[in-house]
Amino acid sequence: MPLPMYQDKPKHPLAGIRYILAIAAGKGGVGKSTLTVNLALALQHLGYRVGVLDADVYGPSVRKMLPEDRLPSQKGETLIPALCHGIQMISMAYFRGDDKAAAVRAPIANGIISQFIENVAWGELDYLLIDFPPGTGDIQLTLAQKAHISAALMLTTPQEVALMDVRKAMHLFEQVKIPILGVIENMSYYIHESKGEKVPLFGKGGGEKLARETGAPFLGAIPIAQKISEASDEGRSLFSGDSQQFGDIQNVFLHLAGQIKDHLAQSQEGLQSFELMWEEIKGYILDDINDFKVGGVEDFSNFFNAVIDEKAFDSICSYIEGAKADDNVEVVAGGGCDKSIGYFIEPTVLLTKDAGSTTMCEEIFGPVITIYVYKADEFEETLKLVDNTSPYALTGTIFSQDRYAAERASQVLVNSAGNFYINDKPTGAVVGQQPFGGSRASGTNDKAGSKLNLQRWVSQRTIKETFVPPTDYRYPFLG
């Protein structure tokens, strides 16, 4: 039987995009689409490769402002985006008539957005701008969870009525751990034709106020200008060869593009230069360990109890003693064993320099955890290390405030644990609800007596994600 040829797994369609930026407001009518189009044109004018995803299924308007030179096409299940003034673009507007309503329910709309995220061949881009639809519902959550968004750009108009909804949208991004890049104020002022003065028609300073309240940078203001309206209605670029009359407006969007570019670069630089503050984290760990109560099961305030029997006690203690004798391992906390009144083992934290050390690879049923500190710029290598270090795969978790990191870990570690957790403690199987084991050599898929008994023949994977993680280790019954 001939061996099958090895084939690399296809890259995610968004993998070639450097920055993915959400442009949102939480409401309609503030100019998100206009901002998206003109920012895209400004970034392109600065020499960057740009794409636009019009995520407004029910009221797409970007196509009007950014008419195509090449229509989108399809190869199998893959969509090839339209080309508009040299900018790649996908929109629901290409799949229905201009005067036809998109009368679809939320599950179908979510499916459309998922296709735009997962099935569009964007190729290599510097920036993908996502024009978010109004609101904070299903579509917004789908985009936040699947689109690997680098940061969100919030757009508002000056009046308090607009700020109310923008605050809600910002809260949504905070909940799903997407950083706010900054605030832009649209329709900020009108320039009086004869006096040349700025006239704030809708109030003054709302965007700056919101930025101060939330700690986000205020990136700039866009005036009310007939030139913007006319260019949008006609599908003309503010940066085309015959656009000298747009000079003052060009500068507004070029300034905003520069601000966005600089802030994104600073954010990325901060991530790349980040080093794991192990000493600080160790302090938190030691504080909690010193607070743990260890004792018999009859006292519900005890967080740790004795291990199950002498055989288990001897096995776990041998691991600890082996770690103490290893030059690559440091005992950060605990390390004591005492069976004078019961099979008690101190909660033990080991720090290793070798990711292949015994306690990193072996399955230890006791209060022992081994920590390996990886370098911040070796995240991909570390994921592969996690995937290959241990033959066992009962449970696993990743803790991350970076949406892309959480998604990437979930993809790379697809075969690493039957029960996979994101920002939650890996508690193992819940009888009758989750598979026990489910991958590699750990546990079993057999759930005898369950209506899901056929799961014994497959290796299914359960993923649980917590968006508001616990901040205390104590269970309610601990008091």
Q: pLDDT digit string (tens) for 178-201?
A: 888 999 999 988 887 777 778 888
The CA–CA distances, whole Å, from 253 to 154, 163, 236, 250, 316 equal 15, 22, 15, 5, 63
> Using 50, 70 and 90 to split pLDDT, how confident is the model at 244?
low
> Using 50, 70 and 90 to split pLDDT, how confident is the model at 449?
low
What's the sign of the alpha-carbon dihedral 48, 49, 52, 53?
negative
Rounded Cα gap, residues 251 and 239, in angstroms: 10
| Mean pLDDT value across residues 247-267 | 84
In 292-326, which ranges are continuous DSSP H helix?
310-324
Q: Is the confidence at residue 10, as pLDDT, over 60?
A: no
Q: Is the confidence at residue 355, as pLDDT, over 90?
A: no
This model's pTM is above 0.75: no
DSSP 239: T
Rounded Cα gap, residues 394 and 439, in angstroms: 7
**219 or 274, higher pLDDT:** 219
| Mean pLDDT value across residues 281-308 | 88
Tokens of 330: 């440091």
Tokens of 405: 């990191």
Q: Hunting for tokens 């989750």 — which residue is that? A: 434
Q: Are 394 and 417 in contact (CB under 8 A)?
A: yes
pLDDT of the residue at 273:
43
Q: Is the confidence at residue 177, as pLDDT, over 60?
A: yes
| Mean pLDDT value across residues 198-224 | 87
Q: Is the confidence at residue 440, as pLDDT, over 70?
A: no
**333 or 10, higher pLDDT:** 333
Q: Choose from 21-35, 192-206, 236-250, 401-415 the range with maximum mean pLDDT.
A: 21-35
Q: pLDDT digit string (tens) for 39-78?
A: 999 999 999 999 999 998 888 889 999 999 999 999 988 9
pLDDT of the residue at 1:
39
Maximum Cα–Cα distance across the chain: 94
| Mean pLDDT value across residues 297-325 | 93
CA–CA–CA angle 22, 28, 30 (5° rounding): 80
Rounded Cα gap, residues 276 and 265, in angstroms: 20
> Using 50, 70 and 90 to split pLDDT, how confident is the model at 309?
very high
Beta bridge partners of 372: 352
- One-letter amino acid at 172 equals L
Report the share of the chain in percent with pLDDT over 90: 31
Q: Are 188 and 158 in contact (CB under 8 A)?
A: yes
| Mean pLDDT value across residues 374-389 | 82
pLDDT of the residue at 45:
92
pLDDT of the residue at 479:
67
Q: Hunting for tokens 């996502």 — which residue is that? A: 130
**109 or 128, higher pLDDT:** 128
Q: Is the confidence at residue 9, as pLDDT, over 80?
A: no
pLDDT of the residue at 445:
54
Q: Choose from 152-161, 227-236, 433-442 the range with maximum mean pLDDT.
A: 152-161
**4 or 163, higher pLDDT:** 163
Per the prediction, the chain carries an average pLDDT of: 83
Q: pLDDT digit string (tens) for 268-277?
A: 554 444 445 6
**Secondary element (H or E) of residue 414:** none
Q: Is the confidence at residue 4, as pLDDT, over 50?
A: no
pLDDT of the residue at 382:
87
For 242-280, b/e burial (b = at least 16 CB within 10 A) is: ebeebeebbebbbebbebbbebbeeeeeeeeeeeeeeee
Rounded Cα gap, residues 17 and 310, in angstroms: 55
What's the sign of the alpha-carbon dihedral 145, 150, 154, 155?
negative
| Mean pLDDT value across residues 277-298 | 84
Beta bridge partners of 344: 338
